[in-house]
Amino acid sequence: MINPNRAVEVLAQEEETVGLKPAYLEALTLIERLHRRLLDVIKDEFDRMGRSDVNSVQALLLFNIGDAELTAGELRTRGYYLGSNVSYNLKKLVETGYINHERSQMDRRSVRVSLTEKGREIAQIVDDLYSRHILSVEQVGELSTENFEELNRSLRRLERFWTDQILYRL
pLDDT, one tens digit per residue, over 32-57 is: 999 999 999 999 999 999 999 999 99
pLDDT value of position 14:
65
**pLDDT value at 67 more than 90:** yes
- How far is 142 from 7, CA to CA, in rounded Å? 44
- Contacts of residue 42, Cβ cutoff 8 Å, sequence gap at least 6: 56, 59, 60, 126, 129
pLDDT, one tens digit per residue, over 79-111 is: 666 556 778 888 899 999 999 988 777 776 778
φ/ψ (deg, to 5) at 53: -75, -20
- Contacts of residue 164, Cβ cutoff 8 Å, sequence gap at least 6: 170
pLDDT, one tens digit per residue, over 108-143 is: 677 889 999 999 999 999 999 999 999 999 999 999
* Closest residue by Cα to residue 92 from 69, 119, 70, 68: 119
Distances (CA, A) of 12 to 22, 63, 80, 100: 17, 47, 39, 58
Local confidence band at 167 (pLDDT 50, 70, 90 cut-offs) = very high
Q: Which residue has the higher pLDDT, 62 or 75?
A: 62
